[in-house]
Amino acid sequence: MKISAVAILAVLTLAAVAQQSPRLDDIRLSPERLQSIGVTFATAQVENVGDDLRVPGNVAEDEQLQVSVATRVAGWIQQVFVDATYQYVRRGQPLFTLYSPEVAATEQEYLLALGNAKRLAASTVPGVAADAQSLAQAAAARLQQWNVPQAEIERVASSGKALPAFTVVSPAAGYVTVRNVLPNQQVEPQAELYRVNPLSPVWVFAQVNQNNLGRVRTGAPVTVTVDSYPGRVFAGRVEFIYPQIDAATRTARVRLVFDNPGRALMPGMFVNADLKLSFGRRLVVPTSAVLQTGRQAIAFVDEGGGRLSPRPLELGGQVGDLDIVLKGLKGGDRVVSSANFLIDSESQLQAAAGAFMPPPPGAGQAAAVNQPARPAAAAATAATVSLTTQPSPPHKGKNTLQVRLASAASPIADAQVSVTFSMPAMPAMGMSALTESAQLASVGGGLYQGALTLPNGGTWQVTVTARRGGQLVASRSLSLLATGGT
């Protein structure tokens, strides 16, 4: 059986158009055909969309609650009452005693002023009694400015003797996180002697990847769990997003704040943070309804009567097993949610067929005169290739691949079919190039099947090749987005 030059030219033109212009077109399929290839549908819906973002974090002190303890006068430390870090102190609790020559001299001035004020209290000279009393008040005020406790000032006045040292007390309640105090130590007013922090509430610094940073909002609720307390959940909120990205990890610090009942969260502790993200009301479709062609995202919309129309989409990110749709669909649209690759292949084939221009009259005779007859096997170059995966889309781990191979006349059941998944190297992330291949076995009717295990998710470049008798029968390249982490 011979094939005319016109037919060969038509088939070759059809194949060339299909390869050069992967344009999609509407297709019509009968209910029986939709059922046979496993097509299912889902509805685009507007709903409240939220997600959980799980990231690691570390507990730290709340810097805004720190209180520093220092003296306002130079002197020498005598007795130390709080002599260990992370010792809990109450507000007003004695920390140490300090001998200061300036304080001792001022106490003597205070006693003299009190004595003069007492002796001159009955003076009839105008202003003398008042001046004597004001001198005593000025000396007492100077002692107060040096943080000498009021109780000790009253003790000096009642005993009539200057005290050898005065007591420095804690200005706040909390844990001593810094201690720089030793007996007989000389101190100056600028030296920090203690630092006190209540450790309730506390901060948690979470590390959020820059790709997810735009989804985090201040004030959003967040919870943390700690391996030390199985089953216990701590509730807090996002307080601040630091405006800097770590160049090595490509993450940003996000500050979370938590009440810390019982002070169970300790500085330095590693925690698992779960940020509750809300996107408001958005139009969404199942992720399986979106076909990633490598250039754009497409969904096939059911127009009724078996007609499926490809729609380019603008997506707003993935939330769980849903994709947010910004443009391309409206609420209530019925879209194909499985067997998208088969529908895509059929749409490309029909688009290529619609773009075919028949040769001008006489072209067949000219070709027949100038070229020798070709065998019927040449028609196989117009074979069509369709790829499906289970699950769809593929995921990290084991996947089942199915390739349907057919010529213009009939299915091709005696070919050697191979599928190769490849991903380029990403040196910045420490990833080398990946390649995974599978040889598919014929299961009859032009259908080939095999298994392939993907080491991680992400965008894979896929090449399907079919050979028969050592000759290339058909090939197809496409991009697939596999789910799952790296």
pLDDT (0 to 100) of residue 21: 40
DSSP SS3 for 310: strand
Which pTM does this prediction carry? Answer: 0.54
Q: What span, in angstroms and rounded, lies between the C-alpha atoms of 404 and 385?
A: 6
pLDDT (0 to 100) of residue 206: 96
Question: How many CB atoms sit inside 10 A of residue 202's CB?
Answer: 25
- Output the six-digit token pair for 447: 């259908």
CA 455 to each of CA 398, 399, 460: distance values in angstroms, whole numbers, following the listed order? 9, 11, 11
- Output the six-digit token pair for 51: 């997600």
User: Across the chain, how many H-helices and E-strands are there?
Assistant: 7, 28
Peptide bond between residue 411 and the one before it cis (omega within 30 degrees of 0): no
Is the alpha carbon torsion for 76, 81, 84, 90 positive or negative? negative
pLDDT (0 to 100) of residue 71: 92
- The residue among 329, 325, 314 whose CA lies nearest residue 282 is 325
Q: What span, in angstroms and rounded, lies between the C-alpha atoms of 460 and 51?
A: 26
Residue 190 CA to chain centroid, in angstroms? 44
DSSP SS3 for 456: coil
| Adjacent-strand bridge partners of 149 | none
Q: b/e per residue, 203-237, with b = 16+ CB within 10 A?
A: bbbbbbeeebeebbeeebebbbbbeeeeeeebebe
Question: Which residues of the chain are modeled with pLDDT < 70?
Answer: 1-25, 121-128, 294, 340-342, 344-382, 408-409, 426-430, 485-486
DSSP H or E segment with residue 437: strand 434-444
pLDDT (0 to 100) of residue 180: 95
C-beta of residue 199 within 8 angstroms of C-beta of residue 172: no
Q: What span, in angstroms and rounded, lies between the C-alpha atoms of 12 and 15?
A: 5
pLDDT digits (tens, 9 = 90+) for 395-439: 899 999 999 888 866 888 889 999 999 988 766 556 778 899 999
Q: Quick one: DSSP state of residue 65?
A: G
- Output the six-digit token pair for 3: 């094939």
C-beta of residue 218 within 8 angstroms of C-beta of residue 108: no
What domains can be seen in the chain, in order of their start residue? 40-62+199-337 (2.40.30.170), 66-197 (2.40.50.100), 383-486 (2.60.40.1930)
C-beta of residue 222 within 8 angstroms of C-beta of residue 275: yes
pLDDT (0 to 100) of residue 23: 57
Q: What span, in angstroms and rounded, lies between the C-alpha atoms of 57 and 60?
A: 10
Q: What span, in angstroms and rounded, lies between the C-alpha atoms of 217 and 171?
A: 36
Question: How many CB atoms sit inside 10 A of residue 165's CB?
Answer: 18
